Every structure is written in C-alpha cells, then in structure tokens.
C-alpha cells in the first residue's frame, strides 16, 4: 500500500493547469469519498493503538508514526455515519492539516485520480448547512464526495483564530489595517477561520474556492487597472 503514494511529491506538483489529484476511498458502504492528495502523507495498515483518557468520541486512539504521536480518527463516525470497526477496517490515511498530523480510519483505499477543477462541483444545496462534504465529482459513473477535513477537525478540536500580541502591536496594525487580500481555499471552514484571524489585524479578505476562480478575479482586476 505504501507504493500507492510513493511518488506523492511528484504527483502533487501540478503546474500550468487548474488541476488537483484526489485519493479515492470507501468507508463502510459502497459510496466513494475523496481527499486532496496534496495534504496526504501516506497510507498505512492500522498500527497498534493506545487509548487515551477523556478522548473525543471520534478519536479511537493514538499511534506512533515516524517519531510522531498521531491521533487516529474514525472518519465514518466523524461525518455522522455508522462507525467503522477497527477490527475490520484496517487502513489509515495520514494527513497534515493546520500544521498537525492526524490519521483517518477508512474502509479501504481505491486509487488516485487526476481531475480538472471544472469537474469539481459544489455540494447540492438541499443537503443543509452542517454537512461534511466540501465538493462532489464523478468518476466512472460514480458520485464522489470530497470530505471537508477542516470541518471534521474543527468538531474535534476547534482551532484558535487569535493573533499573538506581537502581531497586534500598533506598528504592525498600522501597516495592515484596511488592507485587502485574496484568500483561496476549497474548504468553507478553512476560509472562515482564516478570515477571522485576518480580521484581528484589520485585514479584509475576498475569497475564492479554487485556483481558477482566484485567477479569474485577478485577471478582472488587472483589466480594470487595479
């Protein structure tokens, strides 16, 4: 299974095109799910777990991977589906989000696919506000749900959007107050977190959900002489 991601560094360097690569996997049923390969470190068989007291219900334990203690999250349970049984689901996807490493227990990994952002669609409006899908796409006539990992992690350990006092000095705030930036991320949760942090510095953000949308905005501003 390690061979599946052996060339991950090369595969994530998609330049010149508005593309991304997705790792497809399944949980308890037939539904296909996906994570962005860019944030994946490796795929492993489930190592031995150590239980920790007062852990979040979605965390089934911790394990030791390459000198790092990594929490293992039951992804199916985290997105409010039937929890996976670690005795039967023995695959973990190790990822890095928000400068922290965590692993997700999944039912099985399928393959990596290369997609154009035009093939990535927003989730249906009828699914409500509190779902865990950041986008959907299609592969071999199957619907693929792309998981919003930032939302999953925010449920378990809400990140702080506070800014250190060093960055809140009068000198720095004088430089940042009233500034605008273009903020790009495919996760609405990540965008909201970043916007909240920037607001402490007096910076307002114009958001885009993918690279093509951001590029279109930049071209429009350039045409307008901004």
Higher pLDDT, 163 or 207: 207
> What's the predicted TM-score (pTM) here?
0.77
Structure tokens at 208: 């885009």
- CA separation (Å) from 179 to 22, 34, 59, 162? 34, 36, 40, 18
Q: Please give the pLDDT value at position 14.
A: 52
3-state secondary structure 118-170: HHCECCCHHHCCCCCEEEEEEECCEEEEEECHHHHHHHHCCCCCCCCHHHHCH
Give the bridge partners for 167, in sequence order.
Answer: none
For 82-100, how does the pLDDT look when each residue is reduced to its tens digit (9 = 90+)? Answer: 999 998 898 999 998 877 8
Instruction: Answer yes or no: are the C-beta atoms of 34 and 23 closer than 8 Å.
Output: yes
Instruction: Answer yes or no: are the C-beta atoms of 60 and 44 closer than 8 Å.
Output: no
Q: Please give the pLDDT value at position 26.
A: 95
Judged against a pLDDT cut of 50, whether residue 120 lies above it is answered with: yes
**Mean pLDDT of the region 141-146:** 94
Domains delineated in the chain: 2-155 (2.40.50.180), 165-223 (3.40.50.2300)
**What is the rounded distance in angstroms from the CA atom of residue 177 to the CA atom of residue 184?**
20
């Amino acid at each position: 299974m390690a061979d599946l991601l052996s060339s991950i560094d090369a595969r994530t360097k998609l330049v010149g095109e508005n593309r991304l690569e997705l790792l497809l996997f399944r949980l308890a049923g037939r539904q296909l799910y996906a994570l962005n390969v860019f944030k994946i470190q490796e795929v492993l068989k489930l190592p031995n777990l150590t239980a920790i007291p007062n852990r979040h219900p979605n965390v089934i334990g911790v394990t030791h991977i390459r000198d790092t203690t990594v929490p293992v999250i039951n992804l199916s349970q985290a997105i409010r589906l039937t929890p996976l049984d670690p005795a039967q689901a023995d695959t973990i996807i190790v990822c890095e989000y928000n400068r922290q490493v965590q692993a997700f227990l999944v039912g099985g990994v399928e393959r990596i696919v290369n997609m154009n952002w035009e093939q990535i669609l927003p989730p249906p409006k009828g699914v409500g506000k509190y779902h865990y899908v950041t986008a959907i796409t299609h592969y071999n006539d199957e619907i693929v749900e792309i998981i919003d990992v930032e939302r999953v992690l925010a449920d378990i350990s809400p990140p702080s959007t506070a800014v250190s006092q060093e960055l809140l000095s009068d000198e720095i705030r004088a430089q940042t107050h009233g500034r605008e930036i273009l903020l790009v991320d495919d996760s609405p949760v990540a965008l909201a977190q970043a916007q909240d942090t920037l607001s402490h510095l007096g910076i307002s953000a114009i958001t885009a959900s993918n690279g093509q949308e951001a590029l279109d905005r930049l071209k429009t501003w350039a045409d307008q002489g901004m």
